[in-house]
Chain A
Amino acid sequence: MPRIRVEVDGVTYEDDVEPRLLLVHYLRDRLGKVGTPIGCDTTNCGACTVLFDGMSVKSCSVLAVQADGRGITTVEGLGTDGTNHPMQRAFHEEHALQCGFCTPGMILASIDLLRENADPSEEEIREGLEGNLCRCTGYQNIVRAVRKAADEMRQPAQSEVAP
């Protein structure tokens, strides 16, 4: 059984894994990172999106063994010291979730989108999130939240501005 060494949300894990173990099952069943849900099983819905060396991937379509030597960020690794990431905050404030199932994937895909395009238009947000499905059809508020987070993340935080 191959042994992998992988950093997940800032912590390094070493584990023996069966080659067929999916990354999403490793995260949920072995590491207890149940913040990453499993949606569709067909690489369609994006609910299981995580960042893989900083880039969004659907963790149901990657083997755990392929994460060997890589860094993974799940929704549980966002935010520091009990404070939310600006994207999480924007989703909260704009009511960008109803049932919440798509939310972890939406948030990580949105962070990835802003990494490439810090100031996306509404159209660019819709296209950038095309791999993430919300069956409550809450897209209006999701797009609004991403716009809000983009505005906020481009501003230096108040506390960081020199007096």
Chain B
Amino acid sequence: MIPPTFDYIRPSSIEEAVSALSQAGEDAKVLAGGQSLMPLLRLRLAYPDALIDLDRVESLRQIRSENGDLFIGAMATHHQVVRDPLVLEHAPLIAKATATVADPAVRHRGTFGGSLAHADPAGDLPAVALALDAVFVVRSVRGDREIPAADFFVDWMTSAMEPDELLIGVRVPKLGPGWGAHYEKFHRTAQAWAIVGVACAVRRERGAIEDARVALTNMGPAPVRATEVERFIEGRSVSENSFRAASERAAEGTEPPGDLHGSPEYRTHLARVLTARALTAAAAV
């Protein structure tokens, strides 16, 4: 199908983009990689007045170390993230999860920031950002603002960004030695959207789990931390039994949706099974 009409704005710097966004008003959309937005336009599920295309804002594609953290520019493509030496070294969970996003052609255009700002409950990266305690850096003509991942994902496809705010990038605290990470998801073969996904990072010390972060994809309108799992597993030995007991708590406090891919009961079951797998894989450091 043919998308609705819109004004097209192609800034070449962050400043131009922010200023265009402020002038364009509430009904403008930012076009990042377009791999979610273009289908929405074609299916006429979105009718923006204007598209502000970030494709030529090269400075938004940088991935760098910054004050001890990893900073991933909003327009870094999935293809870029999966291969980036800094990401592989300091945030392997991001690389692992990103490799499961869609397919190679989509990963060539799709972006890290675009996926996060889209806030699709079935998207993989929101839960990963939540598990890693990432911080979202957003900019508007009013200045910069930092939003912790725990506050960024508000509801179904809704983030805490104001309409005039642009996601510049995401700051990710580096995981030091002793940490292991894994992303486990269940999906249909022909589509990579998670029916349920589990992002997990654990720190092992002397045969025990000292620190655990577990976040769930598609177990509610926004990603959620499996806090009961984290609380249970911390301080316990690295063993199949403790992982199984912890994962029994995976669905506590969640509101899994029911749709043609699975009922809430099925998702609850999946969350438990996948959490046990993710813990096991992550703890194998």
Chain A residues packing against B (C-beta within 8 Å): 2, 18-20, 22, 25, 41-44, 46, 49, 52, 55-58, 60-63, 65-66, 109, 112-113, 128, 130-133
Query: Does A56 lie within 8 Å of B108, measured CB to CB?
Result: yes
Asked whether A41 and B1 contact (CB < 8 A) given A19-B8, A60-B42, A61-B39, the answer is yes
**B33 nearest CB neighbor, chain A only:** A61
Kindly state the separation between the CA atoms of A52 and B10 in the bound complex, as whole angstroms. Answer: 18
Is B102's beta carbon under 8 Å from chain A?
yes
Please name all residues of chain B whose beta carbon is closer than 8 Å to the beta carbon of A133 when the two chains form the complex.
190
Query: Does B39 lie within 8 Å of A22, measured CB to CB?
Result: no
**B5 nearest CB neighbor, chain A only:** A20
Total count of chain B residues near the partner, CB < 8 A: 30
Q: CB within 8 A of A49: which of B5, B10, B38, B105?
A: B105
**A113 nearest CB neighbor, chain B only:** B104
Please name all residues of chain B whose beta carbon is closer than 8 Å to the beta carbon of A2 when the two chains form the complex.
8
Asked whether A61 and B35 contact (CB < 8 A) given A66-B55, A133-B190, the answer is yes
Please name all residues of chain A whose beta carbon is closer than 8 Å to the beta carbon of B109 when the two chains form the complex.
52, 57, 61-62
Kindly state the separation between the CA atoms of A46 and B108 in the bound complex, as whole angstroms. Answer: 13
Is B260's beta carbon under 8 Å from chain A?
no
**A50 nearest CB neighbor, chain B only:** B105
Q: Mark B25-47, 1 if CB is under 8 A from A, else 0.
A: 00000000011001101110000
Query: Does B2 lie within 8 Å of A58, measured CB to CB?
Result: no
Query: Does B105 lie within 8 Å of A41, measured CB to CB?
Result: no
**A112 nearest CB neighbor, chain B only:** B104
Query: Does B6 lie within 8 Å of A19, measured CB to CB?
Result: yes
Known: A43-B106, A61-B35. 17 other contacts (CB 8 A): A2-B8, A22-B2, A41-B43, A46-B105, A49-B105, A55-B79, A55-B108, A56-B104, A58-B105, A58-B106, A62-B38, A65-B10, A109-B105, A112-B105, A130-B103, A131-B102, A132-B103
Kindly state the separation between the CA atoms of A97 and B232 in the bound complex, as whole angstroms. Answer: 53
Kindly state the separation between the CA atoms of A20 and B6 in the bound complex, as whole angstroms. Answer: 7
**A45 nearest CB neighbor, chain B only:** B190
